[in-house]
């Protein structure tokens, strides 16, 4: 028995029936003696629909109005779920972000949560009322609605869990946990019982869509026990924890990928101080997010410079670089927007050498050319041609024996 925050994603509240099923599930938890606070997303597809509507009104929709528009999806689901709960005899109350109040920093479309007034929620819990809170939104100090960025309801849930100091924050979704790799690509991908915050943060930032990266950051910082579990089936899901104590640390815990990547290369760049800043400055100010950056050793006073951006930013980045090319007198500008990034993540890498070599060997055995490499303490990422993405994920998964079969063989032995 304890206080739990449960967050239900778009698919879990995608229809009248599903909202009713969520209400049943919440009631079942209450019947077990838990106190539950619920955070919901908009019905699946709704936020996309709203975004399209906004863009059909204006090529560059004003950010403030876009947030008012996008935040409306969650208003529908909190009301419907509260109604469904009341039908089941559970006293429920819906809350918009500004009614809680969830204070955000005023950055439209990518706001951060600064503070949450938990008083109304505590009062509800005292009276055995179930609060149903709109995810993905907050209000800034000027009273403007802000949204947290796509997928941001996870972050709302974790922030509320942190502010109240609850026993667990459960992200209830259409998958039953965090997997060693995307099960749509790898048949024998395995659900993880446990994963560390650090690893989860890397996986989420490197393309795994299970959790909003900021929610993991938040949970790690405030030590919120976080669980990813299915909305539809019973099961333990995956618990995200500080350290996997008493457990044999696998070297690699999981594989993430990002398909929507692009790379740009400027070659024959004068190898002099200030060149990286000249090349990346205009891109950064656009603002376009730059991910991997590689600069080669120079020869004859010239060097090559390659970096990656999100595919959606590719054209714009190329335009900006065309101007830079002329101004710095670089020989050639080229790019490729059909690339993908595949990453392996694991805290066990800290204590094991040779992980990169094994990964590169596995790719070489499949004749997959590595275009770029980047590493940090607990991850290794490679860029490959997009057409090799699935094969790359599969061969790395089997190289590190991450699958179901590998584990059951071991336990038999
Ligand atoms: N409804 C928002 C989105 O689709 C927030 C969320 O689902 O977490 O991005
Ligand atoms: Mg989501």
Backbone angles phi, psi at 142, to 5 degrees: -90, 0
Boundary (domain end) residue, out of 154, 174, 194: 174
39-50, pLDDT tens digit by residue? 999 999 999 999
Q: Average pLDDT, whole number, for the chain? A: 94
The partner residues of 116 in beta bridges, in order of sequence, read 102
Which of 7, 8, 10 to mutate to test ligand 1, by most ligand atoms within 8 A of the CB atom? 10
Contact, 103 vs 137, CB < 8 A?
A: no
Contact, 73 vs 43, CB < 8 A?
A: yes
Cα of 41 vs centre of ligand 2, distance in Å, is 8
Is there a domain that residue 234 lies in?
Answer: no
Cα of 153 vs centre of ligand 2, distance in Å, is 7
- Note down the domain range covering 330: 255-411
The partner residues of 6 in beta bridges, in order of sequence, read 38, 170
Q: How many domains is the chain partitioned into structurally?
A: 2
Query: What sign results for the dihedral spanned by CA atoms 192, 195, 198, 204?
Result: positive
Name the pLDDT band for 407 (thresholds 50, 70, 90).
Answer: low
Name the pLDDT band for 370 (thresholds 50, 70, 90).
Answer: very high
Give the C-alpha distances (Å, rounded to integers) separating 104 from 8, 89, 258: 21, 34, 29
Cα of 135 vs centre of ligand 1, distance in Å, is 8
**CA of 74, closest atom in ligand 1:** 1
Give the C-alpha distances (Å, rounded to integers) separating 49 from 44, 79, 312, 313, 385: 10, 19, 19, 22, 31
Cα of 209 vs centre of ligand 2, distance in Å, is 7
Same-domain status, 267 and 167: no
Average pLDDT over residues 268-292: 93
Using the predicted structure, report yes or no on whether residue 412 has a pLDDT greater than 70.
no
Name the pLDDT band for 406 (thresholds 50, 70, 90).
Answer: low
Using the predicted structure, report yes or no on whether residue 243 has a pLDDT greater than 80.
no
* CA-closest residue to ligand 1 atom 9: 150
Using the predicted structure, report yes or no on whether residue 296 has a pLDDT greater than 90.
no
- The CATH number covering residue 287 comes to 3.30.2130.10
Boundary (domain end) residue, out of 174, 192, 221: 174
Tokens 């919440």, located at residue: 26
Contact, 211 vs 201, CB < 8 A?
A: no
Per-residue pLDDT at 409: 44
Same-domain status, 293 and 387: yes
**CA of 136, closest atom in ligand 1:** 5
Is there a domain that residue 192 lies in?
Answer: no
Q: Is the model's pTM score more than 0.75?
A: yes
Protein residues whose CB sits closer than 6 Å to any atom of ligand 1: 9-10, 41-42, 47, 73, 135-136, 150-153
- The CATH number covering residue 168 comes to 3.40.1160.10
Give the C-alpha distances (Å, rounded to integers) separating 392 from 16, 230, 369, 380: 40, 28, 10, 13
Q: Which ligand is nearest to the CA of 152?
A: 1
218-229, pLDDT tens digit by residue? 999 999 999 999
Exposed/middle/buried for residue 299 (C-beta within 10 Å: 0-12, 13-18, 19+):
exposed
Same-domain status, 157 and 9: yes
Same-domain status, 287 and 400: yes
Average pLDDT over residues 237-262: 85
Per-residue pLDDT at 236: 96
Give the C-alpha distances (Å, rounded to integers) separating 61 from 58, 67, 150, 152, 356: 5, 10, 16, 20, 44
SS3 104: strand
Boundary (domain end) residue, out of 114, 147, 174: 174
**CA of 47, closest atom in ligand 1:** 4
Per-residue pLDDT at 221: 95
Average pLDDT over residues 278-282: 94
Same-domain status, 159 and 262: no
Is there a domain that residue 198 lies in?
Answer: no
SS3 211: coil
121-164, pLDDT tens digit by residue? 999 999 999 999 999 999 999 999 999 999 999 999 999 999 99
* CA-closest residue to ligand 1 atom 5: 151
Same-domain status, 166 and 29: yes
Same-domain status, 160 and 290: no
Average pLDDT over residues 297-313: 92
Cα of 41 vs centre of ligand 1, distance in Å, is 5
Is there a domain that residue 222 lies in?
Answer: no
**CA of 152, closest atom in ligand 1:** 8
Which of 71, 102, 150 to mutate to test ligand 1, by most ligand atoms within 8 A of the CB atom? 150
Same-domain status, 14 and 139: yes
Cα of 10 vs centre of ligand 1, distance in Å, is 7
Q: Which residues line ion ligand 2, judged by CB < 5 Å? A: 9, 151
Q: Which ligand is nearest to the CA of 67?
A: 1
Cα of 408 vs centre of ligand 2, distance in Å, is 31
Q: Which ligand is nearest to the CA of 74?
A: 1
């Amino acid at each position: 028995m304890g206080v739990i925050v449960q967050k239900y994603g778009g698919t879990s509240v995608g229809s009248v029936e599903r909202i009713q099923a969520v209400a049943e599930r919440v009631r079942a938890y209450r019947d077990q003696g838990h106190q539950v606070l619920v955070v919901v997303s908009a019905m699946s597809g709704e936020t996309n629909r709203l975004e399209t509507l906004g863009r059909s009104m204006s090529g560059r929709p004003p950010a403030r109005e876009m947030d008012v528009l996008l935040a409306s999806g969650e208003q529908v689901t909190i009301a419907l779920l509260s109604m469904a709960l009341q039908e089941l005899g559970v006293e429920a109350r819906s809350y918009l972000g500004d009614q809680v109040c969830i204070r955000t920093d005023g950055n439209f479309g990518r706001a951060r949560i600064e503070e949450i007034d938990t008083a109304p929620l505590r009062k509800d819990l005292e009276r055995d009322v179930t609060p149903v809170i709109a995810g993905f939104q907050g209000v800034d100090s000027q009273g403007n609605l802000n949204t947290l960025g796509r997928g941001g309801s996870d972050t709302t849930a974790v922030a509320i869990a942190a502010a109240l100091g609850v026993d667990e924050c459960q992200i209830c979704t259409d998958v039953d946990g965090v997997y060693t790799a995307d099960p749509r690509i790898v048949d024998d991908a395995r659900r993880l019982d446990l994963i560390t915050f650090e690893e989860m943060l890397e996986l989420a930032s490197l393309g795994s869509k299970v959790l909003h990266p900021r929610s993991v950051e938040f949970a790690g910082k405030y030590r919120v026990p976080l669980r990813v579990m299915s909305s539809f089936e019973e099961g333990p899901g995956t618990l995200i924890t500080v350290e996997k104590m008493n457990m044999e640390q696998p070297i690699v815990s999981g594989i993430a990928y990002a398909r929507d990547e692009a790379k740009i290369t400027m070659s024959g760049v004068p190898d002099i101080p200030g060149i990286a800043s000249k090349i990346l400055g205009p891109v950064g100010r656009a603002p376009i997010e730059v991910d991997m950056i590689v600069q080669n050793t120079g020869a004859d006073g010239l060097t090559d410079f390659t970096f990656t951006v999100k595919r959606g930013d590719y054209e714009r980045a190329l335009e900006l670089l065309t101007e830079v090319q002329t101004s710095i007198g670089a020989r050639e500008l080229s790019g490729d927007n059909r690339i993908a990034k595949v990453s392996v993540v694991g805290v066990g890498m800290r204590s094991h050498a040779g992980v990169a070599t094994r990964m590169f060997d596995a790719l070489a055995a499949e004749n997959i050319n590595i275009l770029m490499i980047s590493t940090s303490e607990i991850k290794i990422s490679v860029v490959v041609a997009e057409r090799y993405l699935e094969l790359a994920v599969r061969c790395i998964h089997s190289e590190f024996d991450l699958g179901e079969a590998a584990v059951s063989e071991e336990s038999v032995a």
